[in-house]
Structure 1
Amino acid sequence: LFLFILLIQTHRKYFPSWLNGVVPSTFLTTGLATLVLNCKAMAGKVEQQERDELADSLNDLFSSVSTMIKGELQGTNNLLELLEKMNLRVAEEYKGFGDVASGLRIFVEQLKSKSGCFDEYVQQIDAIEQQVTEFEAVISMLDKYVSLVESKVQSVYHMPPSQI
């Protein structure tokens, strides 16, 4: 319609004269102005709707990003809480190990002090072992001497060794 009215107004001389009576000049001018204003208003409404849609889309985007970031932060927070609990558990267990190690250290010190008391006995045992070794050597020499004496006695009496 707008184009039709614009066409009529700009090219009036080419239209039949009866159209001049049907569409008065003032109507064309005011109608055209009204039409232009209406078109501008409609364009403004369309533009406003597009802006509203864009604003809604951006709002949805920001809400989604915000939700995603909150989820990521919550996940990170959950991991940190788990790590804290694990650290507390490990610290508790190592505290128990520390108590055990302290007890073992005390036990080793007690064993060292007790073994110090046995040092005298260990020295006595070593001395006895040395004496036994020397005694075995003497016995071996005596055994050889007895064998030699026995063979001499047998040779003197000419007796077979089984009869003695």
Structure 2
Amino acid sequence: MSAPTTARPVDAEQTGRRVEEVLDRLAGSDPAAAAAAEELVRSLMDFYGSGLARVLHLLSDAPGDPLAVLLGDELVASLLVLHDLHPEDRDTRIARALGSVREHALDVVDFDEESGALTLRAGESSGCGCGSGASAREAARAALACFAPEVTAVDVRTGPSGPALLQIGTGPAGPTGTR
């Protein structure tokens, strides 16, 4: 029997939640079992984290740019970030994630390091503003979960990005009705 040529699709965010749920269930039952489960998870993360570090090392010596392909893959990127092995800095990963949200033009306004809150501005191609902010927020949140999990909250502002325009006109009518 031959090995499968493609892996079964895995949602990294969903898998992380599932692992936490299982550990929480174990913690509520037997403290010794919970401690053993946490040790097992740590050992497995150490094992495949070392494997991922080795993959990066081998690929960095390869001709061409195979690393770019790996960094663009949501599953691989999330594993690299999880193990603090991703070679790109946070701002670059945020830009990569937002670039993958093609249906919305999103620009970074601010990132609060302490809270993990990212403020974005939806550009003109993101729609009329009637509900597009929520859609853009969800699309950005989903992309950021894989590429930049340190972003814990996303706020999308719609509307003009520059200062408000002031209407300049003539002054009020004088006593004779002239301006």
> Does the pair score TM above 0.5?
no
How does the TM-score come out when normalised to structure 1? Answer: 0.21
Could you say which structure has the greater relative contact order, defined with CA pairs below 8 angstroms and 6 or more residues apart? 2
How does the TM-score come out when normalised to structure 2? Answer: 0.20
Query: Which structure has the highest helix share of the two?
Result: 1
- Bigger CA radius of gyration: 1
